[in-house]
Amino acid sequence: MTGPDRAAVVAGLGSWVPPTVVTNDDLARQLDTSDEWISSRTGIRRRHVVDPGGSTGDLAVEAGRRALKSAGEERADVVVVATSTPDRPCPATAPEVADRLGLGGVGAFDIAAVCTGFVYGLGAAAGFVQAGFARSVLVIGADTFSTILNPADRTTRAIFGDGAGAVYLRAGAATEPGALKGLHLGSDGGQSDLIQVAAGGSRQRSTGRPAATEATYFTMEGRPVFAEAVRHMAASVTTTADAAGWAVEDIDKVVLHQANARILAAVAERIDLPPERFPSNIERVGNTVAASIPLALADASADGELLPGQRVVLGGFGGGLTWGSVALVWPDIPAV
């Protein structure tokens, strides 16, 4: 099948979080914070973190393996890993992930769009499939933000957790359940400083001066990020629904990047949809960055909240700034 009738179809779903759990009470024993302070502001009560020596690639491999199992497949033509915490600055993490999955010499590359990375990865995969360059693509969102947080920063340490989620996409018909449609992507590099790790890149290294310790950690300007996230995710969901030929009120589920419970509520209010249409697992895993959307999909599917035949929009917002969304009718696939 070629041409406009060919589409990338979601055929498998896998997820993985590391076993070590850090609760709000655990953080309160280390920092000036409390369970009430964290949960009332973010909706988060616990998060998972990698053990010493663990990496983003480790999580990506397990999520990818589970997505392949969910799809009943052993091969993929391309592997895309969306991450902002690669195992090393160079090379990309995806080729090693593909090798560890036993996929041989397939094409593999990373995408760095922070919390929107998974949506960008879906867009890249859809392009490969629709153009006929690939018959199947494994898209993995994985991050270990615990490795780049300031140990003394009670705000960021309360928000972020580690994890990975993956989908297996195959070539199929644009009319079948699981087919991606209505993709929308955007960015605003003029506000790149709102979400960043200042040191470690060419701009800082080219100075020839060692980086200040604080500059090696992740930082985020909370208030403007909140406002931008609500504005752009709401607009993107609306744009994508329209491109898919749906009225906003016809969307059954909106699975957004799990940044903050208040952001999810604000987006629901802005597009005038009831909050129960917004599945959320942020209480259990926190903000897992590029892993956030596929982890939320997997949990909603396992909980029976996400059902085959439902009209679903996936949406993200992250550093860059970046944002984006995509629509699909949810297929009948197992979450592994």
What confidence tens digit (pLDDT) does each residue in 254-271 have? 999 999 999 999 999 999
Q: What is the pLDDT of residue 162?
A: 98
Q: What is the average pLDDT across 80-93?
A: 98
Q: What is the DSSP pairing of strand 6-16 with strand 162-173?
A: antiparallel
Active-site position among 115, 184, 232, 260 = 115
Specify whether 115 is catalytic.
yes
Band (pLDDT 50/70/90 cuts) for residue 57 is very high
Percent helix / strand / coil, the chain, rounded to 5: 40, 25, 35
Q: What is the pLDDT of residue 5?
A: 87
Beta bridge partners of 40: none
**Helices within the chain (DSSP H only):** 24-28, 35-42, 56-71, 94-100, 117-130, 154-159, 202-205, 222-243, 261-270, 282-285, 292-302
User: How far apart are the C-alpha atoms of 333 and 115, rounded to whole Å?
Assistant: 25
Active-site position among 48, 184, 232, 257 = 257
Question: pLDDT of 107-146, one tens digit each?
Answer: 999 999 999 999 999 999 999 999 999 999 999 999 999 9
Band (pLDDT 50/70/90 cuts) for residue 187 is very high
Q: What is the pLDDT of residue 2?
A: 52
Q: Look at residue 1 and tell me whether its pLDDT is greater than 60.
A: no
Specify whether 287 is catalytic.
yes
